[in-house]
Amino acid sequence: MQSDLNILVVELDEAKASEIIDALHEGGWKNVTVIASASALQHILTLQDPDIILIDLENPDRDTLEHFSLVSNAHNRPVAMFVDQSDEAMTQTAISAGLSAYVVNGLRKDRIKPVLETAIARFEMVTKMQLELDAAKQALADRKTIDRAKGLLIRARGLSEEEAYTLLRKTAMDQGRKVIDVANALVTAAELLQ
């Protein structure tokens, strides 16, 4: 657990805010900012860049949930939301909004630390999966571009597929570039000549 995390808490009730701060301090987190107004969230986020956001709402509606997700940038940092009541549609909205934790039955002091630790771990796992997915998509796109470039060389020079790839690779090495860069240049040039 990182103890130097910058935590932003959105809590309208002063007594509950004090309880949350106590729980966070007991959990080893000292850098805590509390705001009592949901409308202040956007302003605070421009002033500071919290590592995690904890939001406590009694009974959010769909618009409030989506607003918090959008404003808090839930896809770029862990956001944990505690609500007093929910239904299946609200839970689905919370998941779609990218919240790292959506805890029903309100906020209890003993649940704060494990929920935040889980939210952080889930956020890191989802971020890692997204990076891997993006890398796989890029590799597939690169492969398609290289195949197109090989196809152009096969048609233009009468080479085999292996010879076309060897030529791409040799050109890339001679020019100190990546094979994908040479393939992109070839495909772009061919498109210009059509």
Q: What is the pLDDT of residues 154-175, one digit of tens each?
A: 999 999 999 999 999 999 999 9
**Average pLDDT of the residues in 75-89:** 82
Per-residue pLDDT tens over the stretch 170-193: 999 999 999 999 999 999 999 998
Please identify, in words, the CATH class of the domain defined by 7-107.
alpha beta
**pLDDT of amino acid 181:** 96
CA-to-CA distance for 123 and 146, rounded, in angstroms? 34
**pLDDT of amino acid 1:** 55
* CATH of 133-193 given 1.10.3720.10, 2.40.480.10, 1.10.10.10, 3.10.180.10: 1.10.10.10
In the predicted structure, residue 74 carries a pLDDT above the cut 70: no
- The domain spans of the chain are 7-107, 133-193
In the predicted structure, residue 65 carries a pLDDT above the cut 80: no
- Residue 88 CA: distances (Å) to CA of 14, 15, 62, 104, 157: 30, 30, 12, 11, 61
In the predicted structure, residue 60 carries a pLDDT above the cut 90: no
Q: What average pLDDT does the structure give for the chain?
A: 87
CA-to-CA distance for 117 and 23, rounded, in angstroms? 13
Q: Which residue has the higher pLDDT, 85 or 152?
A: 152
Q: Which residues of 98-117 are buried (b: 16+ CB within 10 A; e: fewer)?
A: bbbbbbeeebeeeebbebbb
Number of residues written out for the chain? 194
> What share of the chain in percent tops pLDDT 90?
39
Q: Which residue has the higher pLDDT, 30 or 135?
A: 135
